Structure 1
Amino acid sequence: HEMGFKVMIDWVANHTAWDNVWTKEHPEYFVRDSSGKFKPPYDWEDVIQIDHTSIAEQDAMIDAMKFWITECDIDGFRCDLAHLTPLPFWKKARTILDKVKPLFWLAESEEINYHEVFDASYTWEFLHKMEAFWRGETNISGLDSVLYKYDTVFPPGAIRLFFTTNHDENSHSGSEYERMGDAVKTFAVFCATWGGIPLIYSGQELPNKKRLKFFEKDPIKWTGRNELHDFYKTLLNLHSTHPALRAGDENVKTYRLKTSDDEHVFSYLRKNGDREVLVILNLSPRHNLHIALTDEKVTGKFKNVFSGTIKVFDTGDSLVMQPWEWFVFEK
């Protein structure tokens, strides 16, 4: 807090380790099989399933969550696999805990109705659509279809968390470089500038290109030059300071823009009053792609966020883009 950070803690409400203190003090808090033994959820043999029907268990868990607020002054919870725990529990927990301190609630879930409780949720569907795009299994229209769904199906004010990797994806499916190849940085720009908030995983600023072991200690090698430090610093600074990128702000408007090559270029304008962020992404391996912005919404003087150069846009102005290149302008 003294350094300006907000602190969130990961909370796994659905299951615990086999040696959790409750297994001895309150075995009735767990689901058990016909022989009375603790039962793992699914085939996850390293954990055991909590019985969410137990009111005593619910109250005990909420009390445990309260400890981290009263004793450690945390600012929110990132709730692991939130949809595996019934929504009524989360409603009860937030009602009680927000009276102690107003918190930020992030669901590792994409269940729409969980936004009745949670402020933000993961965008798993779009992550997999980006991966499919890199594999050539979908196109820009496919990306747009998911974003349209997010805008029309999720409730107003629902904040979405965009990312190119996280601990699950890295260990189980491979690093973002395995899954997205040359498109990694281009999609990272998208995740930091589209409506929502970006997630950056440990080691992305290196970049870390190896799969980290999931159940064993496997430290990231923090040696040498952090090649993408400035890249992510620029994006995150823009996201945290520019009013046109403010998540959950009803004054922010997002406009998909027409270009002279919408088959290969994905462009959009984020706007809050007279403050704007213009993003142009070449989602292709094409060299020397001449792009004209044909949308009348793009006018005036902008600054290139990465180079600092100034560009004045008029309708029909063109740019030349290299494979997977991006431009981010602000005013």
Structure 2
Amino acid sequence: MWYKKSVIYQIYPFGFTNSLYRNDFVLKHRLDKVESIIGHIKKLGCDAIYFCPIFESEYHGYDTIDFRKIDSRLGTNEDFKNLCTKLHENGIKVIIDGVFNHVGKGFWAFKDVLKYRENSRFRYWFNIDFNRVHDGMFYYENWEGHNELVKLNLKNPEVVDYLINTVKFWIDEFDIDGIRLDVAYMVDENYMRRLNSFTKSYKKDFFLVGEMLHGDLNRIMNNEMMDSVTNYQLYKGMWSSLNDLNLFELWHSLEEHFNRRYVGSYTLNFLDNHDVNRIASILKDENHLKIAYGILFSIPGIPSIYYGSEWGAKGVRTRESDKELRPYFDNYIENDLFDYISKLIKIHKEEKAFLYGKISKKLLTNRQLIFERSVDNEKIMVAINIDKEPYIAHFDAQAGRAIDLITNEKHDFGGGSELKPYSISYWKVY
């Protein structure tokens, strides 16, 4: 499966293209902004783009009005079709958001219910009680208390058929390669099985990744539902262990995930995205930023980069808005951090031990961690020092020499291994 070797670049289209927050339904052709950075994405080393919502909505994209029409703020179906063709020509896969749990109040079927109430043929597309009053109108189930987001009834076969046919339309029209299923943690499991069954039979190697925030990831990450899920538990462990100078937390997460609960799985790993603060804003010590990316590209799973973070963009959500997390950038910067991440991505994609290897601990203290990735006869030791002082690591490497894939420096394990201050090394044994 292609996704096991892929590195994903995530874009929030409305912010990325400097679109209006509220849709004025005036057609603008803004998707050429994506085409303009294809070279930037390829130079970084990413080979798939995950687009947050792109279909017609009133505000942020998660309040869909029309699943089969590109949002007026971004362009037309033809624009997106041409963009997908261009991306494919450049070896870049296309993953789009599937927001199937809920729709906006302007969704055509719900508008019919608003007009005809009990007489609407779409009344059972939603969970409605006409005998109850809520917010000045009849009661309808919404998503987590947000009145503007109307929950779809995914137990209704007619709704399921409509959504499956929508996915068929996306594949036929845009030739997409995958879907990220929004709030998959609460989506009806039978619907996910149907989605899996259809996509796997309709397009070879179609990729399904579900949004999971907590709980047992295997509940939906299995052969019947999702190929992968967002790994928020590991995300927290990565930044928190750096801020607290406690690598026991990081190793606990890695051990729990990849040696116990999710052995052989490919979770979607990230340091930030459109819903959380930028990693460059979260970390207390900026010297830990490169280390964080070094961890991301050396652990099992599928790495993902959020647009702008490749050069260290900052952003913090406020109580009022997520706007700072989803900005517009005039220029796409290629600085020292960009070059460093590009090198890490190249190593990640070339080394079988990183793509397929098991993970084991060699040394662990609060501020130092050495773990090994190994497959067949290949071994890479990832040596981390988050302290401001150097550290001499004495451990049984079961190896004599290695080369640091990041610096190309040779390393001898005899007499102890020096870990430089604020460093991460990829020691490939030879």
Which residue, out of 347, 369, 382, partners 1:238? 347
For residues 250 and 333 of structure 2, the distance between their equivalents in structure 1, rounded to whole angstroms, comes to: 36
Q: Which residues of 2 match residues 137-156 of structure 1 at below 5 A?
A: 139-156=246-263
Runs of 4+ in 1 over 6 A off after TM superposition: none
What is residue 20 of structure 1 aligned with on the other side?
Answer: 107
Per-residue CA deviation, residues 164-195 of structure 1 (Å, 9 max, x unaligned), is 1111002xxxx213322322221221111111
Secondary structure, aligned partner of 1:162: strand
- For the Cα contact (< 8 Å) 1:163–1:199, is it kept in 2? yes
Query: Which has the higher mean CA deviation after the structures are superposed, 82-91 or 28-37?
Result: 28-37
Tell me the SS of whatever aligns to 2:267: strand
Counterpart among 58, 62, 77 of residue 179 in structure 2: 77
Residues 303-329 of structure 1 deviation map (CA, whole Å, 9 limit, x = unaligned): x233233x143344321411x221123
Match of 2:376 in 1: 273
- State whether residues 234 and 305 of structure 1, in contact with CA within 8 Å, keep that contact through their aligned partners in structure 2: no
Which residue type is aligned with residue 401 of structure 2? G
Kept in 2: contact 1:292–1:316 (CA 8 A) = no
Matching residue's letter, 1:64: T
**Equivalent position amino acid for 1:52 in 2:** L
Structure 1 length normalisation: TM-score? 0.86
Indicate how the Cα distance of structure 1 residues 329 and 9 shifts in structure 2: closer, same or farther if over 3 A, else same: same
Which residue, out of 282, 288, 293, partners 1:188?
293
Match in the other structure for 1:30: 126
Q: For 1:16, what is the secondary structure of its paired residue?
A: strand
User: In the aligned structure 1, how far is the partner of 2:332 from the partner of 2:169?
Assistant: 37
Letter in 1 for 2:392: I
Q: Which amino acid aligns with 1:254?
A: I
Q: Alpha carbons of 1:196 and 1:2: their partners in 2 closer, same or farther (altered >3 Å)?
A: same
Secondary structure in 2 matching 1:193: coil
Match of 1:46 among 133, 148, 151: 148
* Cα gap change, 1:215 to 1:38, in 2 (>3 Å): farther
Question: What is the aligned counterpart of 2:237 among 129, 136, 146?
Answer: 129
What pairs up with 1:169-208 in 2 under 5 angstroms? 169-170=276-277, 175-182=278-285, 183-208=288-313
Q: Distance in 1 between matches of 2:199 and 2:111?
A: 27
By percentage of residues, which structure has more strand?
Answer: 2
1:263 CA drift (Å): 3.1
Tell whether 2:319 aligns with 1:319: no
Contact 2:270 2:303 in 1 (8 A): yes
Matched, 1:294 2:357: no
1:108 counterpart residue number: 211
- CA displacement, residues 193-239 of structure 1 (integer Å, 9 cap, x when unaligned): 11112111110122211337536973134266534211111111111
Q: What amino acid does structure 1 have at the position aligned with 2:391?
A: H
With over 3 angstroms needed to count, the CA separation of the structure-2 counterparts of 1:48 and 1:227, relative to structure 1, is farther
- Residue by residue over 1:60-101, the C-alpha shift from the partner in whole angstroms, topping out at 9 and shown as x without a partner, is 111111111222221111111111102111011111221101
Q: Which amino acid is 1:228 matched to?
A: L
The one-letter amino acid paired with 2:402 is K
- How many Å apart are 1:46 and its aligned residue? 3.4
Q: Structure 1 residues 74, 326: CA separation in 2 closer, same or farther (over 3 Å shift)?
A: same
CA RMSD in angstroms, aligned pairs only: 2.4
1:5 aligns with 2:92: yes
Q: Percent identity?
A: 22
Relative contact order, CA 8 A, sep 6+: which one is greater? Answer: 2
Residues 226-265 of structure 1 show CA distances to partners (whole Å, capped at 9, x for unaligned) of 342111111111112211111xx4xx22221127xx3321
